[in-house]
Chain A
Amino acid sequence: MKAMNHLQGYLRSDGRKGIRNVVAVAYLVECAHHVAREIALPWREHEVHAIGFPGCYPNPYAERMMEQLCTHPNVGAVLLVSLGCESFNKYALERVVHASGRPVKTIVIQGTGGTRASIKEGRAWVEEQRIALDAAETVPMQVSELVIGTVCGGSDGTSGITGNPAAGRAFDQLIAEGASCIFEETGELIGCEHIMAARAITPELGLELEKSVAKAARYYATLGYGSFAAGNAAGGLSTIEEKSMGAYAKSGASPISGLLKPGDVPPRGGLYLLDVVPDGEVRFGFPNINDNAEIAELIACGAHCVLFVTGRGSVVGSAISPVVKICANPETYRRMSDDMDVDAGRILEGKAGLDEVGTEIRNLVVSLAQGGRTKSEELGHQEFILTYKSFEPLGPACLPAA
């Protein structure tokens, strides 16, 4: 099936290739959010996505996230929308985007003359970019150039039996083809840390993996809640350990090549754990206030697409990169099939095996670089959220193969 592997991408100056050619309209404080959203509105179905950071006060994590998102391979041009008085370093962000070779412009609402004038100026610029990007040529791309993330949300008792292990099988296939795959949610690996550490390519990395889960356990213990929502219990999951065992299955069976933090791009193909729990004292609240916070972090690590396994039935997509929704629960699939790309619940009903659904997911990922679109893209889902966090840089043991 050679034809299955003819991928096309947009070549960027850093050598990475995008499977989308999005204009990102980025607000740099909540006060500029409305203007950014209004600028993007006429192109809601034509690859103009609003992203941004709501905070008025500086945060190095958020600034790095915005830099990585604005220079993501799926992004072709960037419009920054500033109110004017916020702390976000718009000059630094504009310099980074400019240095990446992408068209970039900053609108300062207070300088432009308010809402109406800013929307008008922004739309005129986006119009020009859209015309140029729509005419852009693509180049051949290999499966090995793909970065794929995975997340689960709205998990229930079916997630760890059907959808998550099927996503794990897809990861194993993609990694065998040279791709980079990223799993995350250290707060949902509590109880799995030792079996996971045994899969690390070096003992030192194994120690780092265990430390990342211990950090998550401590963080959640301080907050008083696990990474566990009421719907998880309604769906048959009784404890965080049980949810963890199911979530862990998303990682497949490949060796673990490294530990990343939000915004770190995998240095080569292989399987990586993304640590999304902040370092240091507990600050700024929950590490992952909802699924989209984690999806944005996976995308900031360069993910071209994200596999999202759901049992209860999530409907979200994301700005910048497509989200593939894998429904673990056959009852949920029947109720919400318009939102679901993959019916993994049929494994529970004995109608398909894990390998078969894993291959289906792998093929769906590849099809996204061949003109295919996900259900959430078709439905216009472009959720995005970014909040305050703080991280220390990666230690030397985290990327042994780099």
Chain B
Amino acid sequence: MLRKLLSVGVVTAAFAGGTALPASADTLANIIDRGKIVVGVKADYAPWGMRDADGNLVGMEHDMIADFARRLGESAGTPIAVEKIVVVASNRMQFLEQGQIDMFIATMSNKPDRREVVGIVQPDYYSSGVAVLAHKDSGIDGWASLEGMTICGIQGAWYNKDHGLKNGAEVVAFKGVPEVEQALLDGRCVGWIYDDSAFIPRKVNEPEKWMDYEIATPTVDDVPWGAAVRLEDVDQPIGKALSAAIIDWHESGLLIELEAKWGIPPTQWLVDMREKCLADDPICNDVYDEGE
């Protein structure tokens, strides 16, 4: 029995090794050879990645990917097509590790434990943080105005205390997002403290439902978003090419333009990053430094 289990293990390991093989070759050379890049994209996170009325995949990240493919094509002297594979948060890193995609730009926060699994290229391209979505008649305008307000939250979120209770708000916390939405729309609370990038898709996708609600505080505690290639590719030509593209997107102001194009409220983070990139701040190079 043990021997049988062991042999199954060996076969599985061989398969895993086999599928991981393409990763060891020069990914960029492969992409140019076959004339197309396979990219993981989101379709469930408007307006970064979504489907339009005709079912086409569109969004801010899709525009970034198109621009990246154009750059690759120009430097290689041959057009590079884009093949999009729709990913979700729970499988994007696995798809990349297993070689189903060459890279992804898929609304992923740049976190230390993720940097051990995939190659998150530097610099980051966007950032989201904590904000309050409030009813327009609530009188909430800025963090200080939360004093005495009843706002909804998600149980266990660290910012309920730091940004809600400490600002004098009464935080009513529920188990999940649907319960919070229901409570907010029922008027049991006047605002909702949560990730600001979750509010924008709601405003974009269901404008009538959220007509009376606006983001009423500045965004705080930003966590940046990173694009990723395979871990071993991060210092290879593909990783460096993606880094160079992101640096240029910051410097040229393309990201700020795309943000406006897709109706995303302007993020101070992008403005600051543009300034830092233009000033050659080390945060805007292609290397991850501790504490960035």
* A interacts with B: no
